[in-house]
Amino acid sequence: MVDREAPVDPVRGALHTVPSCLSVALAVLLWSTCVLAAVPLEVKGAPGEILRVEVGPEGAATRPIRIGPGLSTTLMFDTDIQQDEVSLEGRAQFARVSLGSSLLVLVPGSDLQPGETLKLFIPFKDATLPARLVLTLEVQANAVDRQVEVYRRARSAESYRQEAEQLRAELERLRQGPALPPGGKAELDGFRALLSSTGPLDSLAINLSEHGPHCSRPCPLRTIHSNQFRGGNRWAVQFLMRSEDGAPWTIRRAVLKDRKGKAWESLPPLQSAPVTSSAPALVTVEFEVQEGSAQAPYTLQLWDEDGTRSALFRDVNFP
């Protein structure tokens, strides 16, 4: 076992549902063409027992791994990890961090207080997905997970590429299909049409962001993933996000500003479901921006249904 310090990298911390396979295809395509970071799918183990964590390329967050000052917590992985790229938030507050090819030992220092939470990023060596794992550590005085076994439900990158090709073919077929009758969803155009039915676009540029633009604190929303789109004079930002303030969010308004303060009001936002703290939701906001009239970088502000809450995202960039 090699004892080395992981790099200190503090962690910072929706479309209406549409009956179209195109929106499903596009959403899956966007996720399948980027490097995924998994969150725990399932945790099994009572306090004092060996904790078994199963992870996959997609899943819902589960309870944190419990650590305690002066007590060692050993994490064992079923595949080799990239030791040089392991990142632990608050590394200086740990008395010991020891790394092996598939092993990590943590001994928190006495400065850590009960209730504190920290992020731990574990990158894997092989080429299968998920490429890395994000774990939450919670400091507790009593119930500490002394031994944790992590099992990865790996999926090969080739399987994602094959699925992406199938989805691209389906997307092209739908784009060339017959138009909907007047009054139908074809009245939506640009990105909203692309995400809800069959809106044709001559060109489409997409920027995939793992963490998304920075949200000014205090931020009531947490971005899990974001994508920026540009096709002609239609620009859009799609977020996968959770609520951080304990109340559901329904986005009703969005304003995009360039670095000179020029502002664009969004078209009606699309949202898959209310944004809550327990379940992420997709939010898409779209703007009509004339080519050459805007100057990067941009800020994006979102307001809730009542207009009483807002979130400001900085350094938004489009492809």
**245-255 confidence digits (pLDDT tens):** 888 999 999 99
Would 176 be classed as within a structural domain? no
Confidence grade of residue 67 (pLDDT, cut at 50, 70, 90)? very high
**Residue 218 scores a pLDDT above 50:** yes
* Whole-angstrom distance, CA of residue 202 vs CA of residue 163: 24
Q: How far apart are the first and last CA of the chain?
A: 44
Residues 289 and 203 in one domain: yes
Can you give the CATH number for the domain in which 55 is found?
A: 2.60.40
* Whole-angstrom distance, CA of residue 225 vs CA of residue 31: 9
**Residue 310 scores a pLDDT above 60:** yes
Lowest mean pLDDT among 118-132, 194-208, 221-235: 194-208
Would 234 be classed as within a structural domain? yes
CB-based contact 109:93 (threshold 8 Å) = yes
Average pLDDT score, the chain: 77
What are the tokens at 258?
């360039």
pLDDT score of 205? 72
Higher pLDDT among residues 197 and 58, named by residue: 58
Residue 184, helix vs strand vs coil: coil
Residues 40 and 134 in one domain: yes
Residues 303 and 197 in one domain: yes
Would 168 be classed as within a structural domain? no
pLDDT score of 190? 56
Would 74 be classed as within a structural domain? yes
Residue 24, helix vs strand vs coil: helix
Would 193 be classed as within a structural domain? yes
Backbone φ and ψ of 20, nearest 5°: -125, 130
**How much of the chain, in percent, has pLDDT values that exceed 70?**
69
Confidence grade of residue 155 (pLDDT, cut at 50, 70, 90)? low
Residues 118 and 201 in one domain: no
pLDDT score of 29? 41
Would 139 be classed as within a structural domain? yes
CA 146 to chain CA centroid, Å, is 29
CB-based contact 124:104 (threshold 8 Å) = no
Helix, strand, coil fractions of the chain, as percent rounded to 5: 15, 40, 45
Higher pLDDT among residues 3 and 274, named by residue: 274
**Residue 109 scores a pLDDT above 50:** yes
Would 169 be classed as within a structural domain? no
What are the tokens at 84?
């040089």
Confidence grade of residue 82 (pLDDT, cut at 50, 70, 90)? very high
Would 138 be classed as within a structural domain? yes
Higher pLDDT among residues 86 and 32, named by residue: 86
The residue out of 106, 137, 152 marking a domain boundary is 152
Residue-range definition of the domain harbouring residue 123? 21-152
Count of positions (residues) in the chain: 319
CB-based contact 133:124 (threshold 8 Å) = yes
**Which bin fits 293, alpha (ψ -120 to 50), beta or left (φ > 0)?**
alpha
Q: Which residues pair with 175 in a beta bridge?
A: none
CB-based contact 153:55 (threshold 8 Å) = yes
Average pLDDT of 202-207? 68
* Whole-angstrom distance, CA of residue 7 vs CA of residue 20: 44
2: which DSSP letter?
B
Total structural domains within the chain: 2
Confidence grade of residue 193 (pLDDT, cut at 50, 70, 90)? low
Higher pLDDT among residues 285 and 203, named by residue: 285
Lowest mean pLDDT among 8-22, 196-210, 219-233: 8-22
pLDDT score of 7? 42
Most confident region among 20-29, 189-198, 295-304 by mean pLDDT: 295-304
Average pLDDT of 190-219? 66
For the CA atoms of 172, 176, 182, 183, what is the dihedral angle to 10 degrees? -10
Lowest mean pLDDT among 4-18, 132-146, 176-190: 4-18
Average pLDDT of 5-32? 40
CA distances 210 to 31, 264, 304, Å, are 10, 25, 24
Higher pLDDT among residues 310 and 129, named by residue: 310
pLDDT score of 191? 57
pTM of the model: 0.40
Confidence grade of residue 83 (pLDDT, cut at 50, 70, 90)? very high
pLDDT in tens, 157-167: 677 677 777 77
pLDDT score of 198? 36
Antiparallel, parallel or unpaired: β 147-152 and 73-77: parallel
CB-based contact 104:122 (threshold 8 Å) = yes
Residues 129 and 249 in one domain: no
The residue out of 135, 152, 169 marking a domain boundary is 152
* Whole-angstrom distance, CA of residue 63 vs CA of residue 44: 10
What are the tokens at 222?
């947490």
Higher pLDDT among residues 242 and 15, named by residue: 242
CA distances 254 to 187, 192, 244, 289, 297, Å, are 21, 15, 19, 14, 16
Instruction: Enumerate residues 6+ apart whose C-beta is below 8 A from 165.
Output: none
Average pLDDT of 82-88? 93
